[in-house]
Amino acid sequence: MDLTQDRITACLTNPRFQFKLGDITKETDWIEKQIKHCDVVLPLVAIATPALYVQDPLRVFELDFEANLAIIRLCVEHKKRIIFPSTSEVYGMCPDQEFDEENSYLVTGPINKERWIYSTSKQLLDRLIYAYGKHKGLSYSLFRPFNWYGPRLDNVFNPKPGGSRVLTQFIGNILRGENINLVNGGEQQRCFTYIADGINALIRIIENKNNAAHNKIFNIGNPKENISIKTLAETLIKNIADFYPAHTEKAKSVQLLHVEAKSYYGEGYQDVSLRVPAIRHAKEYLGWEPKVDMKTGLRETLDFYLA
């Protein structure tokens, strides 16, 4: 179920795939009926765009926390396994050089920094799922994506600043011949993980071979591809200028501008300088590690949007 079907058009003709257009906050009877018939539940719905954490924090809480809490409780009631998408954001401003699922502290900012409503909503759901597993027998797996990217990520033609994730925001800037705004200079670093690697890990969690994913938390990210947002912008400009002739001139005209976070996102924003996953759990229990490097993943993504 989703509000639109534009991301899954290729799936709609598959006889093994069923889709319902709708809002999970309203279709509660449909949701419970599906959960009763499922073996595994993956409630993927969430607002995951940083600008909206500041602009509409109440909507983020209502959808990301309250709507998902109802689904979690139904999984407890009907004894269904849940695979829940946590987030790398739960670690917040953790000072560790790499984030460990079991030992790293989850550190967020003050109440007036509304960007943390997403992180804390997800974190509380993680804690509730863990508690339901320990005290009520809920079977679960939590996975924490670290900056997954690839085809169909966002609409690159959305001109609204902050209206999509950073990669598609930058691609859209270049296609429109706009300068790229680097929040706080783009010095913050992220570990970008190609979608095929992420889905490969997710399939292994669903499979749960030898119960390997039972009641465990997994960081799913690529610690080898830790680059700054500024480097990402520079790499995109060069790739588009070099390999996509129709957009070469626009790419070459783009300048990188330093903007303050407060002016770009608003007073309620706060950023994180480093976010590197420890992936020992995924290696040990799932036999997984990322295979796709940034160079290959970016070309695949650009081919989808530009070729």
The DSSP code for 42 is -
Please tell me the distance from the alpha carbon of residue 222 to that of residue 241, in angstroms, as a whole number: 26
Q: Give the integer Cα–Cα distance in Å for 21 and 27.
A: 10
CB neighbourhood size of 275 (10 A): 21
Strands (DSSP E) contained in 221-302 are: 226-228, 256-259
Return the structure tokens found at 10: 């290729």
Q: Can you say whether residue 114 is alpha, beta or left, with left for phi > 0 and alpha for psi between -120 and 50 degrees?
A: alpha
| Count of alpha carbons within 13 angstroms of residue 227, beta-carbon side | 17
Contact status, residue 41 vs residue 75, Cβ threshold 8 Å: yes
Q: Which of 115, 144, 190, 275 is catalytic?
A: 275
DSSP secondary structure code for residue 247 in this structure? G
**What is the distance between the alpha carbons of residues 219 and 204, in angstroms, rounded to a whole number?**
13
Strands ordered across the beta sheet of 81-85: 40-41, 81-85, 140-145, 216-220
Q: How far apart are CA 32 and CA 83, in angstroms?
A: 16
The burial class, CB within 10 Å (0-12 / 13-18 / 19+), for 138 is: buried
Q: Both tokens of residue 280?
A: 């020992």
CA 114 to chain CA centroid, nearest Å: 18
Question: Hey, what amino acid is at 196?
Answer: A
Q: Which of 81, 89, 114, 144 is catalytic?
A: 89
Would you call 275 a catalytic residue per the annotation? yes
Dihedral sign, Cα of residue 110, residue 267, residue 153, residue 194: negative
Catalytic residues: 89, 275
